[in-house]
Amino acid sequence: MNRLISTEPATGTELWSGPIGDATAEVAAARAAWPAWAAQSVSYRIETMRRFANVVRARTGEFAELIARETGKPFWEAKAEVGSVIGKVDISVSAYSERTPMRKMEGALGSKVAVRHKPHGVLAVLGPYNFPAHLPNGHIVPALIAGNTVVFKPSEKTPASGAFLVDCFHEAGVPDGVLRLLIGGPDEGRALAGEDGIDGLLFTGSARAGASLARQFAETPQKILALELGGNNPIVAWDVKDIDAAATMIVQSAFLSAGQRCTACRRLIVEDGTEGPLVDAITRLIDRIIVDNPMADPQPFMGPVIDIAAADALQDSWLGLMMKGGKPLRRLDRPYEERPYLTPAMIDVTDIKDRPDEELFGPVLQMIRVKSFDAAIDEANNTRFGLAASLIGGTPKMYDKYWANVRAGVINWNKPTNGAPSNAPFGGVGLSGNHRPSAFYAADYCAYPVTSVEAELARATIPEGLRDPVAER
């Protein structure tokens, strides 16, 4: 039997292995379990999710260590991710009540108009590697509350974290058939997406993979498709008063999770000629960043990126920027050639013509100098993506202009681009999604509305268009 092996990015040590699954069999199991799960009351399903939160809470340390070792992110950050898994339950309960409530209104002739919501059926969830528990959990919990069953395929780079998450659901009393785990790589992902037996797919990942899924689902409009994709996210720093605070937010935006966040800042846009003090503050902070094993003491700010292939691709992109005329402010170095550690890097790309509009999914910050605030807004919008954007500095009037003109689904002021709140919608425009925001609005795509006109007695008339029965005699 073929098996999938997961190794620790920081050490190369084998961490976990499991048999590669069969998409058809997993979908069939979820389909068989769906009627009974959908027939349970919402309160029953919510209570089951609350038990799940308690199971995760009791296993926080174990779960966080597994995530840290499998992704390479620092242990402190992995603990925060487990906390988000727990918090997602209460948020999803509130969202279900607010976004998909039952409503009754008065209709004609004493009838009632009722609006209720039904689950789709079997939903597939494809998870990413950067947040292997929190992000798929953000789909799974609202899907289960709504009455769907789920087949979850974690990233082939983080299968152990996905398996642990599913085990927590089952330990809490979610029936085996209601949440199925599909282990595998891209082939299994494509097979799952193409299964006739699924009623929709919820995906978090790259824009390239999302576009492929959109093409695949173009022939099946009856199936829901929710895409949460990446970004080439800008920060505009303008008329900054507190240089150190601005530098801290920029470093957090660019380098948390080794830059492996869809909301990470990729482009820093500054006023040409005034950027010196801010750049100095940023580079001083970069020089202090600890890059180390996720379980090291003292704890690092960054661990490695996910694997050797990712590190190699980032180095190739960095060299491409330099060859096009980019001027390194802090180099992208590889401290250990045999492991995917990278140092945080910053490069001035102002003089590059036709800058590549790509999501460099790692610790690379590109700086662009412009002459005016209007030019800064134009540069912020100089992307096919539209996930996150931030303005640091400026005035309320400038922020109003920035908010009104920048195309993004998350727009912040004097805050980092990352760390979006789970009690609000999360999604983007352009290549960053398909207008199905997740987080608090995940309830919207986990159930569909049903409108009913209802009356206790059948009464009907046809007031016009009939011949007079008396005249016909």
The catalytic residues are 228, 262
First to last CA, the chain: 82
Residues 6+ apart with CB under 8 A from 26: 151, 180, 181, 182, 192
Q: Read off the amino acid at residue 104.
A: K
Report the half-sphere exposure of 27 (CA within 13 A, side-chain side): 21
Nearest partner of 416 among 282, 257, 301, 264, judged by Cα: 264
C-alpha torsion angle, residues 41, 44, 50, 54 (rounded to 10): -160
What is the signed CA dihedral for 324, 328, 331, 337, rounded to 10 degrees?
A: 10
3-state SS class at 268: strand
Angle of the 75-99 helix axis to the 134-146 helix axis, nearest 10: 30
Write the DSSP string, 51-78.
Answer: HHHHHHHHTHHHHHHHHHHHH---HHHH
CB atoms within 10 A of CB 138: 27
Per-residue b/e over 82-114, b at no fewer than 16 CB within 10 Å? bebbbebbbbbbebbeebbeeeeeeeeeebeee
Could you give the dihedral angle defined by the CA atoms of residues 208, 214, 219 and 223, in that order, rounded to the nearest 10 degrees? 140
Contact (CB, 8 A) for 237 and 269: yes
Cβ-contact 361, 230 below 8 angstroms:
yes
Distance, CA of 31 to CA of 39 (rounded, Å): 13
Alpha helices per DSSP H over 100-235: 134-146, 159-171, 186-193, 207-217
Q: Which amino acid is at 296?
A: A
Structure tokens at 129: 């590697």
User: Measuring CA to CA, which residue among 130, 226, 224 is closest to residue 441?
Assistant: 226
Quickly tell me which residue has 């609006």 as its tokens. Answer: 115
> What does the buried/exposed string (b/e) look like for 37-61 if buried means 16 or more CB atoms within 10 Å of the residue's CB?
bbeeebeebbebbebbbebbeebee
* Residue 336 dihedral angles phi and psi, to the nearest 5°: -130, 110
